[in-house]
Chains A and B, each alone.
Chain A
Amino acid sequence: MRILVMTKPVPDPAANAERLGPDLRLDRAASPTVVNGNDEYGLEAALQLVEAHGGEVAILTMAPASGVETMRKALAMGALRGVLVSDDALAGADIPTTIRVLAAAAAIQEWDLLLGGLDTSDGAGGAVTAGVAARLGLPLLSAAAHIEPDEAARTVRVKRLSAKGYDLLEAPMPAVVSCTQALGTPRYPSLKGIMAARTRQITTLSLADLGADLAPADRQWPSRVLAVEPPPSRAAGRTVTGDPASQAREIADYLADRRII
């Protein structure tokens, strides 16, 4: 079982310090960086699958050169090697470009399953994993809550989150899967894992290495942020104290005044 996981470095949501810079792009210096949450769920699922079936997990990232630091965290969890696509021409790349680059890089790796996140916690576009499947012409099993390959049959089954529960999907491998929190909590890297990650190989590829000049000639992406503003503040209301029975009366009065009850 060979599994390639697309892992994007994102600002750590726990640090709560994400912001856009004066150029209206993500200010990468403002916040510590982690592997995107949904990608980590995918990575955990991938590691469990190779533990059960044998094989190897590799990771694929498109990021500035500093992306290797975040990739080491994924390697420390147990991924064996990494591929980093990094090129000055990709600064500020838009979603279709990200899709083209990741698909081109994935196409020259060997794998049975390609995992990505359902979406990212910074951009939250939720389009890249499906877009890569479209570029590669492979089945997309999205919003996965459980992944179960059958190596002998060369198929994979996925429980896909639906509005009411889940759908059970099946497709031939190779296939692309988008991953969610429902796959389960990722492991913490062990000390041994952290040590091992230092020596694991990260191959850096430029656009030229991918054999295509994927960037528009003028290096201007048509997708742009024009303006940014703070979210509207919602004024805090009233604090209700007192004994529970009087608090309950006050809530009920509030609801009755607004004809909710």
Chain B
Amino acid sequence: MPATLLVLGEVADGHLTKLSAEIAALARGLAASAGGQALGLVVDRAPDAAAGELAAHLPRVVSVALGPAADEAWAPHAAAEARRLVGEGATHVLAGVTNDGRDVAGLLCGALGWGILANASGAAWDGDALVVRATVLAGKAITRSTVEAPNAIVTVSPGAAEASPLAVAGSVESRSPVGQPVVPAAAVLDRVAEAGAAVSLEEAKVVVVGGRGVGGPEGFGLVDELAGLLGGVTGASRAAVDAGWIPYARQIGQTGKVVRPTLYLSLGVSGAMQHRAGMQGSEHIVAVNRDPDAPIAEIADLFVLGDLFEVGPALAAELRARRGG
């Protein structure tokens, strides 16, 4: 039986995330080479805009407006909708490597008993079996893995495929919710945004990152200033987050966000493996560090050897001068 690949769309601020569009491209490619189908699912309080955006990438999208369940944890409801589509013939479920995507993948794995291929950075068929590439062991190796079964759940990392809209957008079918979450859904009593978290790190073209070297919360003033001058967004290493200098939402790395900006500029980041896992796909890497042996020197295009409290302000002045002149 040819494969039917189900793409779990995620919505941020009413719109489809970039990662979801990439997963759609991956699924469409896989469907085409298997003679199968790809379809999308958007589950949200107000899914219409995002469902339309997903239909720009997929021939068919199911859109579910949550109603009162929108004030409950999302994953148990999204997993229930995905399970309904599995009942209608979906053979593979693709979700993003995000907290929500992984929750749905885990819930479906428990509920369906399907195998999981985690953190895919690419995928292809070997006969009927899906084979995915993934970076494992804190970046030390890349594996190709498979589930030798007609069904699988795949979690997909950012950058696995390039989003490309269809010539003719697909159709959107609106449905009412299943109503019965996969597990009892927790109530959401409040949603709290932390200061400065409005801009998405993952979608930024320029990311300026502060590490332990910035010395304290004040040090992020310099990082923010450079980010502002470069039209970018501030990120952080885990050491800076664990120290409480900046919220977790800013963390880049294996246990934080994965970024692939045009420019990654860091101040006082050593470049540990777990940090690299979140930034080594950046197009250009510039790092300021006073230790010539810092591991980030191994991957930086420009390794600026010096004190960030001298180089940083000098760079801010230079950027201002060029802007003015």
Contact = CB atoms under 8 A, between A and B. Distances in A.
Given A171-B186, A223-B147, A251 B315 contact: yes
A140 interface: yes
A164 B135 CA distance: 26
Contact of B303 (A96, A163, A238): A238
B106 A126 contact: yes
A131 B109 contact: yes
B194 A164 contact: yes
B302 interface: yes
Interface residues of B, number: 99
Given A225-B145, A239-B305, A247-B304, A163 B248 contact: no
Interface string A19-46: 1100010100000000000100000000
| Residue with the greatest number of chain A CB neighbours at <10 A, chosen from B75, B126, B301, B317 | B301
27 contacts: A13-B138, A16-B138, A19-B140, A20-B136, A94-B147, A96-B113, A118-B255, A124-B119, A125-B155, A126-B118, A131-B109, A134-B110, A138-B184, A145-B248, A167-B192, A222-B148, A223-B145, A225-B143, A234-B298, A236-B303, A238-B301, A239-B304, A239-B305, A249-B318, A251-B302, A252-B319, A254-B302
Contacts of A141: 73, 186
A55 interface: no
A6 interface: no
Contacts of B137: 11, 18-20, 26, 122
Nearest to A246: B314
B141 interface: yes
A255 to B, nearest CB: 7
B255 to A, nearest CB: 6
Interface string B65-79: 000000001011001
B200 interface: yes
Contacts of A244: 306-307, 310-311, 313-314
B141 A230 contact: yes
Contact of A165 (B12, B197, B299): B197
B103 A254 contact: no
Interface in B96-129: 97-99, 102-103, 105-111, 113-119, 126
A136 B146 CA distance: 27
B238 A134 contact: no
